[in-house]
Structure 1
Amino acid sequence: MLLRQMKYFKAVVDHKNFYDAAEACNISQSAISQQIKALEDELGVLLLRRHNRTFSLTEAGELFYRKSTIILSDVNVLLSDIRRQVQHKDESLRIGYPVNFADEQIINSVSVFKKRYPDAVLELESGNHERLYELLKTGKVDIAINDQRRAFSDDYLNIELTAFPLSVEISMYHPYATLDVVEIEDLKNFPCILIADKSQEDTEFTYYHDIIGFVGDFIFARNLNEARLMVTSGKGIMPVEGRVTVPNISSTVKRLSLLKNGQIINRKYCAFSKKSPTGYNVLEFIEELKKQFQNQ
């Protein structure tokens, strides 16, 4: 009974009223109120101070809420582990995503999916284009979110998500910081910072030099944070995919639209998976991705 009362008490605190908590717990408002009162009687302490239609937590109530939150979480993890062991059910979903993708759609999709399926085990791995392609090809990820550099293969599901303009991030103290757009040829005097593993440096250099058209020096970072530190410290500029206006971008970095011969450079992004996916709810996650990108 105590676990159920913990759940009711947590629901009341989380919803900040008895009515919504009762709705969430599928019991009547009077029943949940009685359960909280019975819990207080059993503990011998007051957990809530009632004020007409509102309430506040007592010191004991704050402690009980914190401990209940931890205990209920531990119980849920235990139950999930037992169900997976008994049912031999794999609820893991492995997702590969671009290391230099700097918008929030992937994060939002993961958040929505995890809320919908709290028992799902999400494994995420970042990489550049070739790395993500290899992870999907060898079955090490169920979904690869990647820019399209190849013709679509009939061996995979190829779901178009969006076409993003290629932008460039520069320091707020860069000489071009007063601009909103810049031609790629005007960046020739500033090193281009790319994110890649040692083994992928040549591949990324070839793509950004030969296909995109960067002609200055190139330097490499291993992750987005390292690359942004390089940008902030004035070591160079970094091409990124995503919108020019991003709410959570660092105040030390500015993003400019990147042009080539006066035209925006668009990059098509897709979700790729095997035609017969084995990961947990692969197609549903891809649908959530599509929704997030459509709402961009």
Structure 2
Amino acid sequence: MELRQLYYFVKVAKKEHVTQAAEELRVAQSAVSRQIHQLEEELGVSLFIQKGRNLQLTPAGQLFLKRIEVVLGDLEKAVLEINEFMNPEVGEIRLGFPHSLGIQLIPQVVSGFRKQYPHVRFKFKQGMYPSLIRDLVKGEIDLAFISPFPENDELVVGEVLLTEELYAVLPSKHPLAGRESIVLSELKDDEFVLFREGYSLRPIVWEACKKAGFTPSIGFEGEETETIRGLVAAGMGVSLLPEMALHQAGPLQTAKVRIESPIVTRTIGLIRRSNQKLPLVAKVFYKYLLDHFSK
């Protein structure tokens, strides 16, 4: 069975006329008739019956058309995807990132990249650390921003883009809200608002508190940066958040205070699968990000 036969079959089925199909295909009528006849012989069924001057699909022909249209549609999509894969100025980049980077960093780098490559599309997927690793390894995303950077994972490779300091986030009326800096142990008697289990910022905050000599008392938990900030602003506790998560203003305001001891940081990295080449458009974006953060 040849691909040409399938294209001829679909065209005749749509036109219900060999001559009209041949004219649109720009081939001889006899060539179309011959290919249809060979296809019917190979399948062992009649695909068309004559009805006046036109051809009409048999029940077998109707079934075959339904399946073949799906096959040819998938083939066209595959060809398009390959062309996009090889073209750095078009195509789609599937990018994963944690919620805390969605406020400032992701919009900033994507808008900057699209000024150079306006026809590139992005498909975003937010998630926690384990799900980002899983989605990348399974091939559901091409690249992922991740924090902390995975040092010993054979399935992914990448680069550390930056190290970011975490600040104490306090209710505006907190006794320490007016200070320029504090030591973390000064918050040992406060209740903390933390991310739920599975979010990468939670163990960073937890370990920082342990290093400061206390175990944080958890009053509330959340799943998004804005939820954490909102709960703190409403006086439900204190928290530690990275600076880039504190730029977006809202109706409830928090105080941002630097922690002088211990210094609390997180690494933010960019990772890709270690055993597979990136699509060309994603490779260009990868290089753009490395250049962007090196500056």
Taking structure 1 as reference, are residues 178 and 228 closer, same or farther at Cα in structure 2, changes over 3 Å only?
Answer: same
**TM-score (structure 2 length as normaliser):** 0.59
Taking structure 1 as reference, are residues 264 and 208 closer, same or farther at Cα in structure 2, changes over 3 Å only?
Answer: closer
Equivalent positions of 1:178-189 (< 5 A) are 178-189=178-189
How big is the shift at 1:149? 5.5
How big is the shift at 1:227? 2.0
The equivalent of 1:194 in structure 2 is 194
1:95 aligns with 2:95: yes
Taking structure 1 as reference, are residues 178 and 204 closer, same or farther at Cα in structure 2, changes over 3 Å only?
Answer: closer
1:233 aligns with 2:234: yes
Supply the distance in 2 between the matched residues of 1:264 and 1:231 (Cα, whole angstroms).
21
Taking structure 1 as reference, are residues 243 and 111 closer, same or farther at Cα in structure 2, changes over 3 Å only?
Answer: closer
Supply the distance in 1 between the matched residues of 2:236 and 2:145 (Cα, whole angstroms).
29
Taking structure 1 as reference, are residues 127 and 238 closer, same or farther at Cα in structure 2, changes over 3 Å only?
Answer: farther
Equivalent positions of 1:18-167 (< 5 A) are 87-88=80-81, 89=83, 91-101=91-101, 104-148=104-148, 150-167=150-167
Q: Which residue identity lines up with residue 227 of structure 1 in the other structure?
A: I
How big is the shift at 1:267? 1.8
**Which sections of structure 2, spanning at least 5 residues, go unmatched?**
1-75, 85-90
How big is the shift at 1:256? 1.8
Supply the distance in 2 between the matched residues of 1:268 and 1:86 (Cα, whole angstroms).
39
Deviations 1:73-118 (A, max 9, x none): xxxxxxxxxx978734452212122222477333211112233333
Q: More deviation in 132-141 or 104-113?
A: 132-141
The answer to whether the 8 Å contact 1:152/1:158 transfers is no
How many residues align? The count is 207
How big is the shift at 1:161? 0.6
**Which sections of structure 1, spanning at least 5 residues, go unmatched?**
1-82
Q: Which runs of 4+ in 1 moved over 6 A?
A: 83-86
The answer to whether the 8 Å contact 2:96/2:125 transfers is yes
1:177 aligns with 2:170: no
The equivalent of 1:209 in structure 2 is 206
Equivalent positions of 1:243-258 (< 5 A) are 248-250=248-250, 252-258=253-259
The answer to whether the 8 Å contact 1:187/1:216 transfers is no
Taking structure 1 as reference, are residues 263 and 188 closer, same or farther at Cα in structure 2, changes over 3 Å only?
Answer: closer
* RMSD over equivalenced CA pairs, Å: 3.2
The equivalent of 2:58 in structure 1 is none
Identity rate, percent: 16
**TM-score (structure 1 length as normaliser):** 0.58
Taking structure 1 as reference, are residues 142 and 166 closer, same or farther at Cα in structure 2, changes over 3 Å only?
Answer: same
Supply the distance in 2 between the matched residues of 1:187 and 1:165 (Cα, whole angstroms).
18
Q: Name the SS for the 2:94 alignment partner.
A: strand
Supply the distance in 2 between the matched residues of 1:102 and 1:212 (Cα, whole angstroms).
26
How big is the shift at 1:158? 1.6
The answer to whether the 8 Å contact 1:101/1:242 transfers is no
Q: Which residue identity lines up with residue 237 of structure 1 in the other structure?
A: V
The answer to whether the 8 Å contact 1:102/1:240 transfers is no
